[in-house]
Amino acid sequence: MSPDLARPLIGLASASPRRRELLGLTGWAVSNLPAGVDEVPLAGETAEVLARRLALAKARAAAASPDGLAVTLGADTIVVDGGRMMGKPADAAEAAEMLERLRGGTHRVLTALALVDPRRGTELVELCETAVPMRDYTRDEVAGYVASGSPLDKAGAYGIQDGGFQPVALERLEGCFANVMGLPLCHLVRGMRRLGHVPPADVPTACQEHTAYACRVFDRILREEV
C-alpha cells in the first residue's frame, strides 16, 4: 500500500459500525471522529432539510479536529412513513410499534452525506432517497426480532442487512441498498470526485458483492441523473 493510501483521507463523523463497514469498501483510509450534535428537529423542518442540516453539522464538528484530514464526512439517515419521521426507538415497545406501522407498506429512507474539506473551505451535501417496500411479517417475527435487541440502534427499528429477520421485500426494492444501511456509497463517490478524490476500489462492484444485492441504480447515480 502506498503512503498516500495508508494515510487517513476521510474523517468519519459517526460511531456507526455499519457506516464504517461500508466506507471500508471504497479503499480510502478512514479515521473515526464521532461528532455529537443535537438531533432534535426544528419547528416545521422537513426530513430532507433535517438530514442535510445534521449531516453538515457533524462534518463541520469533525473538521474542527486537529488531525488535519483532507475530508470529513457527516451522515444522517431518517426513515419517513407518511408524514412521520422515525428515528431510533427508545425501547423495545417503541421498536415493536414502529415495525407494526411499517409492515406491508412502503416508506422512504433519506440519507444526507456532507463532505467538508477544511483546507479548501469547501462544503457539499448529497441526498439519497430510497423507497423501501416491507414484507407482511408476522407479530411473532417482530417479537423475536425485538427480543434480539437488534432494532434498538437503527432508525425505523430495522436493518435491511438483518438476514435472520429480513423485514424488506428485497425482490421489490428498486433503489440504493447501502442508503438504507446508512451510507449511500455511489453518492459518496460522486461527492468525493467533485473534491478531486477517486476511490481506489470499484465501489459499485464491491457494494453489490458485500450486500448480495444487484443494484439497478448505481450507474444513474454516478452519472448524476438521480
Catalytic choice (4, 38, 67, 76)? 76
Residues sharing a CB contact under 8 Å with residue 33, sequence separation 6 or more, in sequence order: 11, 12, 13, 62, 65, 67, 69, 72
Contact of 31 with 68, CB cutoff 8 Å: no
- The span from the CA of 157 to the CA of 101, in Å, is 11
Catalytic residue flag (residue 136) = no
Q: Which three cell numbers stand for residue 162?
A: 438483518
DSSP code string of 32-57: E-------PPPTT--HHHHHHHHHHH
| Secondary structure in 3-state letters for 193-204 | HHCCCCCCCCHH
- The span from the CA of 212 to the CA of 36, in Å, is 32
Question: How far, rounded to the nearest angstrom, does the alpha carbon of residue 39 sit from its chain's CA centroid?
Answer: 16
Residues catalogued as catalytic: 76
